[in-house]
């Protein structure tokens, strides 16, 4: 039958509608993609048990999950992540503190060839215990992160000691303080009521990993698991080109999780951060992290809207803001760029290796040399020249805003420069009058234009009192490797507090945490260790604060480092990136983002 003219027109109209709908569907089906920056050379590993740097945290947190996480609305508070609810605690009949946990029923590992049939399975209690035990396994973790659980769980230290002597690490051997109730419920019995324990459970090093993946990728003596992450997170690993690119894609099987509906401040609400409340996360299909060693290409890519956000390099502050009013450039505002200023729980410092023959040690002459170096360095000049004066210069290792931070940022008697006259006096006490007989001191820091310029300034400041510096610029993974091996006498570092308690910073000087642990200065004072062990069991209060201050002042006297600076970070956000509340306090916030950009 030949269709009538009307029928032909009708068919043509319907066909056009279908074609338009198909075209629209094709546009809508395009993947959304966010391109994000990662400073320096990026991560050195994707294995939580081996990770220790900010860049490893950024990458690992997209793929893996911890039992708890900081709230997006307020990172000073915790909420369940792999748990069905916040853990509870009680004191057992032996007077021990016991934490009880219940896992979610809908948390599954990513589909991966390590599993039978390639299908990811549900997370269970055994996975939690296995992941914790990996921190005790020297062969799995390189000893980096044992400090997080050391002296914490009943029987765990004894378990580690036995396994250290065994030909193979037995993950099936029981630990008294890890009590399995069923596949989804378990208890952790603490040696002592350690205040920080619950905060450790949000740190990326305690992410939950499947045993199948570790054994599959590390079979036959290989070490491929560190580059093949298999987690439960909102994104699935796709690609890692070391020092260049890290890519993850939306987990198609991710459980039902939603953008926060409650807890937003009035300021956040006014800025539109609550507008996405109740939407399913993650929102974007793909995250691409590019590594930037230098600031100039980072800024140019942000200006050209290739990046969703940046942590504004301080050397570009005056390009983006009026240095007097701190008001953002009109052109940037016109282009829809927004910003968020966030004071960091920051400890920027130059550390001595206390095991080094030249700058280490605790005798009067060795302490005098370090005091001379500290007194010759002008942190205020460094702050004004390289951080636009935005950093807080302070005494001690405890950042502003935490118990134990000194009033007015000053401690009487601290060896803070510039005081060249006193620096020369201490240099003479060290046995090097005017620097005579003192060999050049090797100083290493991560490679960047900013660090090169800062090192040149520090070199000039030290030369004014007769101290010679021999600088070395290294890619960050190489720097951390050399520091872990205790090969560098003097080095530049920054530490962002893992949780809002000064105990986390004071742990950097606790001798059992020596390299390759977090105590990279290898500071070793029995009196300090004793005070730290007392403080870690205390709840917040005046008594604990007084102890923190005593520990702070002991460190200031011995000078195992030169510092300190705390950054006030300006996060710049391009208009295509939505829902952004950037922070360095935790790196799980990318799952809340949305974007208008597509492939």
Residue reference for tokens 């029981």? 174
Residue 3's pLDDT is: 41
Q: What average pLDDT does this structure show over 137-159? A: 92
Q: Is 189 helix (H, G, I), strand (E, B) or coil?
A: strand
| Residues with Cβ within 8 Å of residue 127, at least 6 apart in sequence | 208, 209, 210, 211
Q: In what order do the strands lie in the sheet with 178-180?
A: 88-91, 97-102, 185-189, 178-180
Tens digits of residue pLDDT in 388-447: 888 999 999 999 999 999 999 999 999 999 999 999 999 999 999 999 999 999 999 998
Tens digits of residue pLDDT in 319-369: 999 988 889 999 999 999 999 998 888 999 999 999 999 999 999 999 999
| Assigned CATH for 346-566 | 3.10.105.10
Residue 338's pLDDT is: 95
Q: What average pLDDT does this structure show over 548-554? A: 97
Q: What is the mean pLDDT of the chain?
A: 92
For residue 9 the two structure tokens come to 């027109």
Preceding omega of 109 cis (within 30 degrees of 0): no
Nearest Cα to 508, choosing from 430, 374, 426, 397? 397
Environment class of 22 (CB within 10 Å of its CB; exposed 0-12, middle 13-18, buried 19+): exposed
Is the predicted pLDDT of residue 579 greater than 70, yes or no? yes
Is the predicted pLDDT of residue 499 greater than 70, yes or no? yes
Residue 29's pLDDT is: 56
Residue 315's pLDDT is: 86
Measured CA to CA, the distance from residue 560 to residue 370 in angstroms comes to 7
Q: Please give, one letter per residue, the 3-state secondary structure of 437-459.
A: CCCCEEEEEECCHHHHHHHHHHH
Residue 30's pLDDT is: 80
Residue 1's pLDDT is: 40
For residue 527 the two structure tokens come to 């009196």
Enumerate long-range contacts of 381-388, CB under 8 Å, 24 or more apart: 381/418, 381/457, 381/461, 382/454, 382/457, 382/458, 382/565, 383/565, 385/453, 385/457, 386/314, 386/315, 386/450, 386/453, 386/454, 386/457, 387/314, 387/565, 387/567, 388/314, 388/317, 388/318, 388/323
Residue 306's pLDDT is: 96
For residue 358 the two structure tokens come to 């030249």
Across 39-43, 53-57, 479-483, 555-559, the highest mean pLDDT is recorded for 555-559
Pairing relationship of beta strands 346-352 and 490-496 according to DSSP bridges: antiparallel
For residue 143 the two structure tokens come to 């000893």
Is the predicted pLDDT of residue 314 greater than 90, yes or no? no
Phi, psi dihedrals of residue 380, rounded to the nearest 5°: -65, -40
- Using a pLDDT cut of 90, give the percent of the chain over it: 81
Phi, psi dihedrals of residue 9, rounded to the nearest 5°: -60, -40
Q: What average pLDDT does this structure show over 494-523? A: 92
Measured CA to CA, the distance from residue 286 to residue 35 in angstroms comes to 8
Tens digits of residue pLDDT in 70-121: 999 999 899 999 999 999 999 999 999 999 999 999 999 999 999 999 999 9
Q: Is 84 helix (H, G, I), strand (E, B) or coil?
A: coil
Is the predicted pLDDT of residue 532 greater than 80, yes or no? yes
Q: Is 498 helix (H, G, I), strand (E, B) or coil?
A: coil
Q: Is 229 helix (H, G, I), strand (E, B) or coil?
A: coil
Q: Is 302 helix (H, G, I), strand (E, B) or coil?
A: helix
Measured CA to CA, the distance from residue 370 to residue 8 in angstroms comes to 91
Is the predicted pLDDT of residue 138 greater than 80, yes or no? yes
C-beta atoms surrounding 285 within 10 Å: 17
Residue 6's pLDDT is: 38
pLDDT band at 477 (very low <50, low <70, confident <90, very high): confident
Query: Angle at CA 414, nearest 5°, toward 411 and 420?
Result: 135
Residue 56's pLDDT is: 95
Q: Find the DSSP H helices in 390-502.
A: 420-429, 449-463, 476-484
CB 233 within 8 A of CB 46: no
C-beta atoms surrounding 198 within 10 Å: 16
């Amino acid at each position: 039958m030949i269709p009538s003219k009307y029928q032909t027109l009708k068919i043509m109209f319907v066909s056009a509608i279908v074609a338009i709908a198909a075209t629209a569907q094709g546009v809508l089906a395009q993947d959304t993609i966010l391109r994000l920056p990662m400073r320096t050379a990026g991560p050195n590993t994707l294995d939580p048990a081996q990770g220790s740097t900010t860049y490893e945290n950024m990458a690992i947190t997209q793929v893996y999950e911890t039992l708890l996480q900081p709230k997006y609305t307020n990172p000073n508070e915790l909420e369940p992540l792999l748990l069905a609810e916040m853990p509870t605690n009680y004191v057992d009949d032996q007077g021990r503190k016991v934490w009880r946990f219940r896992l979610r029923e809908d948390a599954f590992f990513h589909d991966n060839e390590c599993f039978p049939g390639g299908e990811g399975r549900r997370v269970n209690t055994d996975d939690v215990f296995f992941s914790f035990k990996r921190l005790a396994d020297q062969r799995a973790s390189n000893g980096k992160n044992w400090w997080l659980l050391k002296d914490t769980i009943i029987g765990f230290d004894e378990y580690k000691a036995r396994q250290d002597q065994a030909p193979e690490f037995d993950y099936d051997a029981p630990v008294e303080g890890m009590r399995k109730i069923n596949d989804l419920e378990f208890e952790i019995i603490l040696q002592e009521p350690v205040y920080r324990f619950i905060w450790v459970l949000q740190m990326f090093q305690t992410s939950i990993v499947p045993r199948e993946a570790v054994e599959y990728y590390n079979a036959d003596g290989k070490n491929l698991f560190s580059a093949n992450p298999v987690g439960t997170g909102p994104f699935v690993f796709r690609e890692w080109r070391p020092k260049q690119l890290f890519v993850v894609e939306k987990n198609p099987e991710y459980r039902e999780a939603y953008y926060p509906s409650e807890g937003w401040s009035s300021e956040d609400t006014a800025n539109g951060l609550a507008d996405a409340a109740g939407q399913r996360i993650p929102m974007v299909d793909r995250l691409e992290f590019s590594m930037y060693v230098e600031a100039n290409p980072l800024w140019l890519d942000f200006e050209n809207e290739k990046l969703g956000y940046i942590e504004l390099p301080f050397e570009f502050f005056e390009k983006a803001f009026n240095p007097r009013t701190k008001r953002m450039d009109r052109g940037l505002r016109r282009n829809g760029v927004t910003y968020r200023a966030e004071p960091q729980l920051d400890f920027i410092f130059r550390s001595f290796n206390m095991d080094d023959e030249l700058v280490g040690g605790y005798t009067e002459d060795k302490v005098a040399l370090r005091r001379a170096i500290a007194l010759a360095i002008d942190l205020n000049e460094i702050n004004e020249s390289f951080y636009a004066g935005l950093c807080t210069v302070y005494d001690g290792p405890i950042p502003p805003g935490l118990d134990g931070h000194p009033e007015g940022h000053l401690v009487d008697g601290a060896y803070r420069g510039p005081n060249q006259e006193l620096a020369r006096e201490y240099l003479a006490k060290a046995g090097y009058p005017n620097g005579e007989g003192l060999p050049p001191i090797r100083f290493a820091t991560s490679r960047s234009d900013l660090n090169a310029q800062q090192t040149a300034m520090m070199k000039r400041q030290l030369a004014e009192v007769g101290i010679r510096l021999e600088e070395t610029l290294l890619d960050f993974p190489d720097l951390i490797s050399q520091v872990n091996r205790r090969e560098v006498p003097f080095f530049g570092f920054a530490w962002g507090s893992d949780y809002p308690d000064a105990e986390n910073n004071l742990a950097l000087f606790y001798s059992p945490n020596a390299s390759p642990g977090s105590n990279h200065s290898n500071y070793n004072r029995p009196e300090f260790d004793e005070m730290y062990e007392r403080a870690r069991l205390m709840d917040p209060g005046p008594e604990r604060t007084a102890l923190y201050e005593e520990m702070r002042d002991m460190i200031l006297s011995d000078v195992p480092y030169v510092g300190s600076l705390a950054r006030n970070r300006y996060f710049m956000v391009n208009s295509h990136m939505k829902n952004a509340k950037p922070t360095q306090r935790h790196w799980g916030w990318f799952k809340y983002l949305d974007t208008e950009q597509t492939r």
